[in-house]
Structure 1
Amino acid sequence: MSERHRVIEGKAYVYRREESPNWQCAVFLSGRNHRRSTGSDNLALAMAFARDWYEDRAAEDRMRRRGILPLAAPPTRTSAPARGPGGMTFEAASQTFLQEFQTLVGGERNPLYVASKAATLRRHLLPFFGELALPQIDGARVQDYRIHRLTPPRPEADDAPPRRWKRPCRSTLHKEIVCLRQVLKTALRRGWLTTMPDLSEPYRASNKVSHRAWFTPDEYRRLYEATRARARKPVREKWRAASERLHDYVLFMVNTGLRPDECALLQYRDVTIVEANGAEPILEIVVRGKRGVGYCKSMPGAVRPFERMRDRGQPRLQDLVFGKMQRGFLNRILHELDLKTDREGRPRTAYSLRHTYICLRLMEGADIYQVAKNCRTSVEMIQKFYAAHLKDELDALAINVRRGR
């Protein structure tokens, strides 16, 4: 059994194989094991090398997760032939898929989404399917993969530190199966595979109706009163600008229904203050985001926050109105108000402000089709995820019908 020593409180460790005099170092980051020879048979020198090596690997991992560095491509084995005894391997087919995918959709899809395919293959699919021949991947093998992903990993040794593990949610596992299907379809088009295996889930998903976290009218009132008080009297004077910006952001989001990414891309030239038919002024917004270019007409309550953002400086037309918001400011206030999670334990985020806009509009009697168009979504999505819990969607007169005696 190899000798092992912990480094940096168990974040990394050094070990020595029985047949080698030199110490090796290893660390587990982002679902992948990193190993390196220290080149020394002295334990003290090896542990010092492992500490420096761990800091470099951890810094690179943080930069990759933040999108500063590109995600590494799946590992290749040039010494092993691509075509094994049973046919083309999954690893070779995945390399062909990545080349095709990055070339064909590189200019049309988000670069982070394109890079996520390589990350999914490298972290999850290749360690499980990589050395298998394509005909060996059948429905039973795919089901074994689902069980593997939903089972906590066992420690490599009795004295090894426990590995941090989080059960993947249904949508995460679905994205991995989609990536697996894309690789197999690439192999099918090139004649490396004759038929597609069954990738469907063998057991039916839960039909429980759930809705996304939002703020009720009373909770929303508590939130904007707290952000307004923080804007008038910030915890520290250097945070005044950020506190005022957060207060205007909350009011703007709940009165427009924009997605957080759409609001982050919003520029001053995309917003126009208009007065329609003598009513209160509103904002006409050109939205760019998840669904391409769309349009939004705000509630009157969004005009004053926008004017305050505009009057605080001398912005150019191409300047961002809000830009990327810091989640820490919003989370701090939500925790102070005990509003970070709803009754079912779902966390509230900036996206919950969009859900609040939709729910408040429906509670006031707005037409659901017009709300869907204004939010650049479908009536089906609103009925399934937003309005399923609203009592105002139920017509008491239509329900409490009695037959005449």
Structure 2
Amino acid sequence: MESHTILGGKVRVYRRPNSSRWQSATYLKGREWRTSTKESSLAKAKEIAEDWYFTLKEKDRTGQLKHENTFARAAEQFLKEYAVITMGERSERYTKDHAARIKNHLIPFFGRKGVSEVTAGAVQEYRVMRLTPEDGKKTPSRSTLHHEIVTLRQIMKTALRHGWIDHLPDFSAPYRTSGKITHRAWFSPEEYKQLYSATRERVKKSQGMRWQWAAEQLHDFVLFMANTGLRPDEANRLEYRDVAIEEEDGERILVIEVRGKRGVGYCKSTSGAVYPFERLVARNQPAPTDKVFPADHKKQFNSVLNELDLKFDREGNRRSSYSLRHTYICLRLLEGADIYQIAKNCRTSVEMIEKHYAVHLKNTLDVRAINVRRK
């Protein structure tokens, strides 16, 4: 950053990288004040900075220069309130993610600004700064930047509730077109059969080996997840006491009490999840409070995907254990299940399913309604 001082060091005139306009800053009443000179010429910028400084001094002398809370103060207040108000509704990890974004990205950029200085223009400058490539710096993904703007909006809402500002700035991204709707990576019926056949073959090959237990657990994990639609984090928290085998409509199913990011909910599996669960019980002889899947199967699962060349789908989407949830939803839709019931069973919304799943399944299109002819 190019920087110059004037008036004996009382005012600093500086220019950010990749910007042609000069900014000015000074320190009064215990805080830093900043403004843009809107000039590309350094000489003119210094003249404007001098006039601005003397205007501030005059306001300070007459009592018109009011001290306002900084963005850093608003961020501190937000974290203090958020952890208490959302107790039990949001996971501890979600709160920590907010704190990490504030510490690593938002405070370094907005921290010293007064809350009224966080304008739509300042938000746009932040986006440009984050997306500008630099040596050794990786630009964030669209999703990562979106989460940072969400945290920024929450902080500014906190300032609004406390009366530190009288309106919220515009946080929307200008020049943005409608994003391409992509489907979540899943396994087609043929790919899913290929996957569980491979994990079953691993179980046969592992008999008497030291990794037999891990192979058996992975095989049951794949079948369990693809027949329940649980999220991986929900499966990691699942205890044996949360699962019950019941009979409905002549079929045995699992009724699962799920604890996840949306609190406690219920899930009813397909009949295909019963035998894997019974094998887990017989194999592990668990106590009610034991975890159903105590080990992390990530490395082993990725190894199977790489062997089968299934790590990426044809659009280049990366598959993971989360893809088993997507597979459950897509297979249920292909079988003609009601989309509202699927949304309830998976603890998500119909909108999310329509946007990310149903959009690419051909059987969701009714040919009788499409090919209608006027008599």
Shorter-chain TM-score category? 0.7 to 0.9
Listed as ranges, the matches of 1:122-161 within 5 Å are 122-153=103-134, 155=135
RMSD after superposition: 2.3
* Among candidates 341, 347, 361, match of residue 312 of structure 2: 341
In structure 2, relative to structure 1, the CA distance for the partners of 1:403 and 1:101 (3 Å cut) is closer
1:212-237 deviations in whole A, cap 9, x for unaligned?
A: 00000110011001111111113992
CA shift for structure 1 position 324:
5.0
1:26-45 deviations in whole A, cap 9, x for unaligned?
A: xxxxxxxxxxxxxxxxxxxx
Q: Which residue of 2 aligns with 1:208?
A: 180
Q: Which residue of 2 aligns with 1:5?
A: none
In structure 2, relative to structure 1, the CA distance for the partners of 1:81 and 1:314 (3 Å cut) is farther
Q: Which residue of 2 aligns with 1:39?
A: none
Identical pairs, percent: 57
Q: Which residue of 2 aligns with 1:291?
A: 262
* Among candidates 193, 205, 211, match of residue 239 of structure 1: 211
Partners of 1:188 and 1:82 in 2: how far apart? Answer: 23
CA shift for structure 1 position 96:
3.0
CA shift for structure 1 position 392:
0.6
Q: Which residue of 1 aligns with 2:164?
A: 192
CA shift for structure 1 position 91:
2.2
Q: What is the one-letter code of the residue matched to 2:160?
A: L
In structure 2, relative to structure 1, the CA distance for the partners of 1:189 and 1:400 (3 Å cut) is closer
**C-alpha contact (below 8 Å) 1:263/1:323 kept by paired residues:** no
Q: Which residue of 2 aligns with 1:375?
A: 346
Q: What is the one-letter code of the residue matched to 2:372?
A: V
* Among candidates 277, 282, 299, match of residue 311 of structure 1: 282
Partners of 2:240 and 2:218 in 1: how far apart? Answer: 17
CA shift for structure 1 position 101:
2.8
Three-state SS of the structure 1 residue aligned to 2:245 is: strand
Partners of 1:300 and 1:290 in 2: how far apart? Answer: 26
Listed as ranges, the matches of 1:36-47 within 5 Å are none
Q: Which residue of 1 aligns with 2:93?
A: 112
1:194-225 deviations in whole A, cap 9, x for unaligned?
A: 43222222133434221100000110011001
Partners of 1:365 and 1:356 in 2: how far apart? Answer: 14
In structure 2, relative to structure 1, the CA distance for the partners of 1:137 and 1:281 (3 Å cut) is closer
Identify which of structures 1 and 2 has the higher relative contact order when contacts are C-alpha pairs closer than 8 Å and 6+ apart.
2
Q: Which residue of 2 aligns with 1:176?
A: 148
CA shift for structure 1 position 251:
0.6
- Higher Rg of the two aligned structures: 2
Three-state SS of the structure 1 residue aligned to 2:368 is: helix
Q: What is the one-letter code of the residue matched to 2:195?
A: L
Three-state SS of the structure 2 residue aligned to 1:284 is: strand
Listed as ranges, the matches of 1:251-400 within 5 Å are 251-277=223-249, 279-323=250-294, 325-400=296-371
Partners of 2:223 and 2:160 in 1: how far apart? Answer: 52
Aligned length: 316
**TM-score using structure 1 length:** 0.72
CA shift for structure 1 position 83:
3.9
**TM-score using structure 2 length:** 0.78
Three-state SS of the structure 1 residue aligned to 2:218 is: helix
